[in-house]
Amino acid sequence: MGLIRSYWFRLCRVRDSQYNDLAIQQGDIIGLMDGEIRLKGQDVAQVVIELLKEMAAGEAEISTLFYGADASEGEAQQLAEQVRRQFPNLEVEVHNGGQPLYYYILALE
């Protein structure tokens, strides 16, 4: 199978704000794609899985998860395992991205 499309999305924690129809509270995890806030939630895994569903992860082959400076390798591996359970046909790779602002940056191909 060839490249479907490459999607990149990021997760971070934010302060109180409003974005389009989303009322975002301090401490919410937001999922961004193409510079737009797509989802919010309290649980990183929940936001990641919902973003992957929205991005048709069931049709993709590979997801690469880059964990940032505020996430540990163990946390990233646990998140990757939750993604693998939800999307058993998706290969999930984990790498230390070291990014300072975003907990995770994900690519989906």
Instruction: Give 56-92 pLDDT, tens digit per residue.
Output: 767 888 999 999 998 999 999 999 999 999 999 999 9
Closest CA to 19 of 32, 8, 6: 32
77 SS3 class: helix
Predicted model pTM:
0.84
How many domains does one find in the chain?
1
Token pair for 58: 């069931």
Q: What is the pLDDT averaged over residues 35-44?
A: 86
Domain membership flag for residue 28: yes
Assigned domain for 1 exists: no
pLDDT in tens, 1-35: 444 455 555 666 677 888 888 888 888 888 888 88
Distance in angstroms (rounded) separating the CA atoms of residues 51 and 106: 10
> For residue 2, is it within any domain?
no
pLDDT at position 22 is 84
Domain extent for 13: 7-108
More confident residue, 101 or 57: 101
**CATH number of the CATH domain containing 62:** 3.30.1180.20
